[in-house]
Amino acid sequence: MSKQRIEKDSMGEMQVPADSYYGAQTQRAVLNFPISGLRFPRPFIRAMGLIKKAAAQTNLELGWLEKGLAAAITQAADEVIEGKLDEQFVVDIFQTGSGTSTNMNTNEVIANRAIEIRGGEIGNREVHPNDHVNMGQSSNDVIPTAIHVAALEEIDQKLIPALKQLHASLDAKAKEFDPIVKIGRTHLQDAVPIRLGQEFSAYAAMIEHGIRRMESVRFALSELAIGGTAVGTGLNCPPEFAPRVVEKLSEWTGISFREAKNKFEALASRDAAVEASGMLKTVAVSLMKIANDLRWLGSGPRCGIGELFLPATQPGSSIMPAKVNPVIPEAVTMIAAQVIGNDVTISLGGQSGNFELNVMKPIIAHNLLQSIHLMSNGCNVLKEKCVDGLKANRERCEEMVERSLAMVTSLAPKIGYDTAAGIAKEAYETGRTVREVATEQKVLPEKELEQVLDPWAMTEGG
């Protein structure tokens, strides 16, 4: 067995691993919640370190914290921010709904590391997790603040850039494929012609709208609960504390955060996270549609639609030689499904704001950050390993346009709906094209018929 040391908290003595920086409250949570093995991700731990550093420096400025203590806490918090102490964050996601266990995990790690920095013996409480590291704070305002800081940093630094790169790639393909006329499809049935570039312009527009949607959540997520303490009243927190902490967080992240206008709402509600998740879900739905279209358009290579050649990335079968599957779009559809499922959980979590406090914050934080992470990486992979390498099968596109019965649509204004329908029916029954039947029946002069059945003209409208 590993060596142990004894630490104390308000409930008494507790054995903890001798080499750990966390203490008694963290160890109690470890024992109480052996549930999933899921831990808070790096962006959340970084946000907690930023908050504790900002709090320590603010408390120093306000005369609440002695200079030596503040310096040691700041140095320890910097190590949390940089990821040097990630292995010390050991509490399961499925824990107390306020996230108090994780706040105390952070407080204890920073306190004990600060003691070590000062040359003291870990666990001696000369830097106190509550009295010093948590000064002017409560788990009830720290955890929602960390959710907002972490989510907005990830959205700004990873997701939006990934969406912009994917948009640029899709837009480039829309221009590249614009000269290619293909058959449109509605209800999975042949429809009138469309240019392949026009089809891709829709995908590019969906991602462009997705960028706008994700940018719109900045306003809600930039509002921070810090300073509300236990129930929103700000008990044990001086009025100058919150604005100074917010100012520091804004400076260090490059994001314009602001103090929550109503701290009671900021603690009792997680509506900003629900809003952000809703936008993520919408973008996931867009990605699901795009990814599904790509794999359908690339289906084949000989017995499917086959209008696109998708990049071959890996063998597709353990039994069928030379089979190559659309693995990148498939991965993206699974990402989208996970994000949609995460949104359901976040929505249920947002409803759990009983009176003055939401009590499903850990699972909201986990799912929201997971969704952002998955979407960021999914967009990058889709762009780099699929969209950038797409090629059009021009011959296949042109072949299917001419075979489509929907070509008869442009004849209807000239010869009437019923006559046009009769031509389509005969073409279907005889296996001929609409052009061949219409020419045989001489429904229009040859030159006019050629103009009316010009596939490119059909993509121009009018």
Where residue 207 sits, what CATH number does that domain have?
Answer: 1.20.200.10
Q: Please answer whether residues 118 and 90 qualify as being in contact, where contact means their C-beta atoms are separated by less than 8 angstroms.
A: no
How far apart are the C-alpha atoms of 93 and 45, rounded to whole Å?
13
Domain check: are 165 and 71 in the same one? no
| Boundary residue ending a domain (115, 135, 155) | 135
Is 441 inside a domain boundary? yes
Is 276 inside a domain boundary? yes
Is 116 inside a domain boundary? yes
| Boundary residue ending a domain (358, 375, 394) | 394
Domain check: are 178 and 276 in the same one? yes
- The count of domains in the chain is 3
Domain check: are 112 and 203 in the same one? no
Query: DSSP letter string over 21-60?
Result: S--HHHHHHHHH--S------HHHHHHHHHHHHHHHHHHH
Domain check: are 58 and 155 in the same one? no
How far apart are the C-alpha atoms of 105 and 154, rounded to whole Å?
23
Give the amino acid at 14. Answer: M
Q: Domain of 83? A: 4-135
- Looking at residues 20-35, what average pLDDT do you find? 98
Domain check: are 268 and 232 in the same one? yes
Spatial CA neighbour of 150 closest among 442, 368, 432, 422: 368
Which of 2, 10, 187, 318 is an active site residue? 187
Q: What is the model's pLDDT at position 191? A: 95
pLDDT at 177 over 70: yes
Is 324 inside a domain boundary? yes
Give the amino acid at 281. Answer: K
Is 337 inside a domain boundary? yes
Read off the pLDDT band of 462 (50, 70, 90). confident
pLDDT tens figures, 297-343: 999 999 999 999 999 999 999 999 999 999 999 999 999 999 999 99
How far apart are the C-alpha atoms of 171 and 280, rounded to whole Å?
21
Give the largest CA-CA distance in the chain: 100
Q: Catalytic annotation on 187?
A: yes
Domain check: are 217 and 338 in the same one? yes
Cβ neighbours of residue 172 closer than 8 Å, sequence gap 6 or more: none
pLDDT tens figures, 254-305: 999 999 999 999 999 999 999 999 999 999 999 999 999 999 999 999 999 9
pLDDT at 149 over 60: yes
- Looking at residues 371-390, what average pLDDT do you find? 98
> Using the 8-state DSSP alphabet, how is residue 324 labeled?
B
Please classify residue 189 by burial: count the beta carbons closer than 10 Å to its beta carbon, then call 0-12 exposed, 13-18 middle and 19+ buried. exposed
Domain check: are 337 and 444 in the same one? no
Domain check: are 347 and 230 in the same one? yes
Domain check: are 237 and 93 in the same one? no
pLDDT tens figures, 70-94: 999 999 999 999 999 999 999 999 9
pLDDT tens figures, 427-453: 999 999 999 999 999 999 999 999 999
How far apart are the C-alpha atoms of 435 and 405, rounded to whole Å?
9
How far apart are the C-alpha atoms of 328 and 326, rounded to whole Å?
6
Domain check: are 214 and 242 in the same one? yes
Is 317 inside a domain boundary? yes
Q: Please answer whether residues 117 and 72 qualify as being in contact, where contact means their C-beta atoms are separated by less than 8 angstroms.
A: yes
Cβ neighbours of residue 159 closer than 8 Å, sequence gap 6 or more: 214, 372, 375, 376, 379
pLDDT at 25 over 60: yes
Which of 36, 216, 256, 317 is an active site residue? 317
Domain check: are 344 and 429 in the same one? no
pLDDT at 37 over 60: yes
Is 399 inside a domain boundary? no
Across the chain, mean pLDDT equals 97
Alpha helices in 62-123 (DSSP H): 67-82, 100-117
pLDDT tens figures, 395-431: 999 999 999 999 999 999 999 999 999 999 999 999 9
Q: What is the model's pLDDT at position 353? A: 82
- pTM beyond 0.85: yes
Name the phi and psi angles at 62, rounded to 5: -85, -5
Domain check: are 230 and 290 in the same one? yes
Is 296 inside a domain boundary? yes
* CATH code of the domain covering residue 416: 1.10.40.30
Q: Find the helix or strand (DSSP H, E) in which 151 lies.
A: helix 139-154
pLDDT at 348 over 70: yes
Spatial CA neighbour of 378 closest among 170, 205, 166, 213: 166
| Boundary residue ending a domain (70, 104, 135) | 135
Read off the pLDDT band of 1 (50, 70, 90). low
- Looking at residues 144-172, what average pLDDT do you find? 98
Read off the pLDDT band of 354 (50, 70, 90). confident
Q: What is the model's pLDDT at position 461? A: 85
Name the phi and psi angles at 190, rounded to 5: -60, 135
* CATH code of the domain covering residue 16: 1.10.275.10
